[in-house]
Amino acid sequence: MSNTDEPTTPPSFAPRPRRRRDDAQAASHRFGTRDATAASVPPSFAPRSRSAAGTRRGEPAHPDAPAPSAPSAQPASIPPRTTARRATAVRRETPAAAGHTRTAQAANRPAAATAVARAPRPPRPHRARRIAVAVLATLLAAALIAGLSAWHWVDSGLRRADWLTARPSGPATSWLILGSDERDGTTGQDGTTGERTDTILVLTKPKNGPSSLISIPRDSLVEVDGALSKINAVLGLYGRKSLVAKIEDITGQKIDHVAKINFGGLTTIVDALGGVELCYDQDVDDEKSEMHWKAGCHVVDGKQALAFSRMRYSDPQGDFGRAQRQRQVIGAIAKKAASPSTLLNIPKLTRVGGAAMAAISVDERATPATMARMLLAFRDASGAGGITGTVYWTDPGYYVDGVGSSVLLDDARNTELFKQLVDGTHKAGVVGTQSEQQV
């Protein structure tokens, strides 16, 4: 540094000297471009470099093009990774490509909007499923409420009494069905006083196999407390449990439930059902029972159904024929009560239920469920696949002093019969001595 030439500006703030043209040409030669102005563009913003032949990829090389020199190192102020990233961005979208993309998007935009406007709205399966589930839940809730109301109505209307014995239950369910005239102290033609059960039926539903409905003759001879009696007088003379115990002795099986129907109530049940169809193949004009019948099948009201089930003096088979017609009446009532025309008609079902609860008394363990099962078992036993008939006897005219003409039962055959009925091993059809005599 000379003494006469003192610096007025610090060296660190002195402007950088301009490059000479030779420096620009050297930079142009270094970066492989043909313009000196390209040397001033940072490598990261430089356009795509030519290939080794000085042309774009895929173009023929110019014969006078000089061989490219090795590129110089990038300036220290620009990191190599950033430079490569920016160069890649530039290569991916040139100005011409960007303009072409925007033009294509603008051209496609109206068509896409039209397609969206014209496309139908897709269905909403989830919303439809939710609506269906809500409707189903509402129906189920209504059915549950109606079922609980009906259950409470029937359960509170049942007239219960103590009937059952301490005998253990068996593999099947058995019901004792009684038809009572409820004489209440009056005297019958045979001298029997008090209430009499002129209809005695044993309904059995096994776990597997056909249901059965078996009649026990009203004049069957039994012994109670050392005294002989007809079975239809046991209820009035000895009480409910004594009658059930004698039925269990005859069948050898447990009686699980009891239903007693008075004859007056039978008429109201049939009338509430709108009548039932009954069949009988003979003309009848019986004044005692008031049965007036033309041979064939007829739909009858309650009064005619009662006469049909009580008539015996004009029947050639006497009391055995009457028992057969009583089973037909009970079966016809059960069939119509369990039919859709009754079950789906709420007013009619209500009338039938009210008439039945007024006419029937049941055992202490009966519930609406046991009554429904009894109705279905009645229907099955009375159908083509069920078992009907009577018990077996050895003498239908056995006379006993003080008792009169009685039916002497065959205890051994009856025990075997009910064992098969309870086990479900007996084939469908008609059983008993009456059926054997008709063959």
Cβ count within 10 A of residue 391? 25
pLDDT for 180: 83
pLDDT at 236 over 50: yes
Which is more confident, 210 or 331?
210
- In the chain, pLDDT over 90 holds for what percent of residues? 44
Mean pLDDT for 233-247 is 95
Cβ count within 10 A of residue 398? 17
pLDDT for 125: 63
CA distance 412 to 154: 40
pLDDT for 349: 87
User: For 268-288, what is each residue's pLDDT tens digit?
Assistant: 999 999 999 999 999 999 988
User: For 107-165, what is each residue's pLDDT tens digit?
Assistant: 455 544 444 455 566 556 677 778 888 887 887 777 677 667 777 777 788 899 999 99
Q: What is the mean pLDDT of the chain?
A: 77
User: For 60-106, what is each residue's pLDDT tens digit?
Assistant: 444 444 444 444 444 444 444 444 444 444 444 444 444 455 555 54
Q: What is the pTM of this model?
A: 0.65
- β-pairing verdict for 197-205 and 173-180: antiparallel
Enter the tokens of residue 136.
């189903």
CA distance 96 to 100: 6
Buried b (16+ CB within 10 A) or exposed e, 117-138: eeeeeeeeeeeeeeeeeeeeee
pLDDT at 42 over 90: no
CA distance 15 to 70: 31
pLDDT at 24 over 90: no
CA distance 314 to 295: 14
pLDDT at 430 over 60: yes
Which is more confident, 12 or 405?
405
pLDDT at 2 over 50: no
CA distance 17 to 5: 19
Which is more confident, 153 or 247?
247
- How sure is the predictor about 404, in pLDDT bands with cuts at 50, 70 and 90? very high
CA distance 191 to 213: 29
When mean pLDDT is compared across 16-20, 206-210, 363-367, the lowest value belongs to: 16-20
Domains of the chain: 149-438 (3.40.630.190)
Mean pLDDT for 13-39 is 48
User: For 314-338, what is each residue's pLDDT tens digit?
Assistant: 998 888 888 889 889 988 998 898 8
